[in-house]
Amino acid sequence: MGMKYVLAIAGSDSSGGAGIQADIKTITTLGAHALTVITALTAQNSTGIAAIQRIPARFISHQVRTVVKDLRPHAIKVGMVATAAAVKTVASLIKRFKLFPLVIDPVLRASTGGRLLEAEGLSVLREQLLPLADVVTPNLIEASALSGRAIETVSDMEQAAKTLKEMGPNVVIKGGHLAGDCVDVLYDGSEIYHFRAERIRTDNTHGTGCVFSSALATSLALGYDMIESTRRAHDFTRVSIARGYPCGDGAGVTNPSVATVKA
């Protein structure tokens, strides 16, 4: 079958728990080769983000064009894209080079509260990038912002997923912020699927969304269909959380480097 390449377009987390660092660990652990394009540099630790250096859209384009000139990705994961100009550039590059299957993790804010996408970028993300995606993987807060719906229950998740599906992509809304059990909801335009599991009681959750979306992209690259790829991402992320560890004075990190997923 040969080595599969997964391109992660995302920001750098200097604390090593999320962002491109979590993407690389996830993709590598699942048996693929990680290609990377950096959209922003952050000065952050476990307690918060001190500063963000946004990469100019022109240089983001240069990174993508240089990579795909030599290496053809088998799947793409897009995470933090900090500016409206960068979102437009990434959307243009995806269309130009036909970079699919495409997983969008709509990173809007850090888990510590800092904004990671400028306000005007949200509408550009919704209008230009989401319609290109094979699947979008928001958490409850992101799904609410994108759909305009309040989300507190699994039923709310289902309705928001249907709203987001009207924009084009399959939708996986992650239920880590639900009260009670964790339920991820997949809507493919015809059926709703629930991936339910008992909540893992831990504070070691930094990087969860990055791990999930990268695991989903890698599973798609490896040839699994959308339903099975979602199941694999759900299971892999749970193991990453269960095997996480404290890292600094704030929330601990997930540990995708030692995670496994059932065949």
Residue 263: predicted pLDDT = 56
Give one DSSP letter per residue of 151-198, joined into a string. Answer: --SHHHHHHHHHHHHTTSSEEEEB-TTSSSSEEEEEE-SS-EEEEEEP
Residue 196: is its pLDDT beyond 80?
yes
Residue 176: is its pLDDT beyond 90?
no
- Mean pLDDT computed over 234-249: 96
- Mean pLDDT computed over 190-206: 94
Closest CA to 234 of 179, 185, 188: 185
Q: Give catalytic status of residue 209 as yes or no.
A: yes
**Residue type for position 182:** C
Mean pLDDT, the chain, integer: 94
The two three-digit tokens of residue 90, written as one number: 């990434």
The two three-digit tokens of residue 262, written as one number: 């059932």
Q: Domain extents for the chain?
A: 5-253
Catalytic one among 11, 79, 175, 207? 207
Q: Give catalytic status of residue 174 as yes or no.
A: yes
Residue 252: predicted pLDDT = 96
Compute CA distances 231 → 43, 105, 186, whole Å: 33, 17, 10
Catalytic one among 29, 89, 137, 208? 208
Catalytic one among 16, 17, 175, 209? 209
Q: What is the per-residue pLDDT across 8-33, written as a single tens digit (0 to 9) for each?
A: 999 999 999 999 999 999 999 999 99
Q: Give catalytic status of residue 210 as yes or no.
A: yes
pTM, to two decimals: 0.96
User: What share of the chain has pLDDT > 90, as a percent?
Assistant: 87
Contacts of 119 by beta carbon, 8 Å cutoff, 6+ apart: none
The two three-digit tokens of residue 155, written as one number: 């039923």
Residue 214: is its pLDDT beyond 60?
yes
2-6, 44-48, 165-169: least confident range:
44-48
Q: At what angle do helices 154-165 and 140-147 cross, to 10 degrees?
A: 50
Q: What is the per-residue pLDDT across 88-137, written as a single tens digit (0 to 9) for each?
A: 999 999 999 999 999 999 998 776 666 778 778 889 999 999 999 999 99
Residue 29: predicted pLDDT = 97
Catalytic one among 29, 42, 121, 210? 210
Catalytic one among 89, 174, 230, 244? 174
Closest CA to 13 of 256, 239, 245, 253: 253
Catalytic one among 26, 29, 205, 254? 205
Residues 7, 78 contacting (CB under 8 angstroms)? no
Residue 219: is its pLDDT beyond 70?
yes
Q: Domain 5-253 is classified in which CATH homologous superfamily? A: Ribokinase (3.40.1190.20)
Q: Give catalytic status of residue 218 as yes or no.
A: no
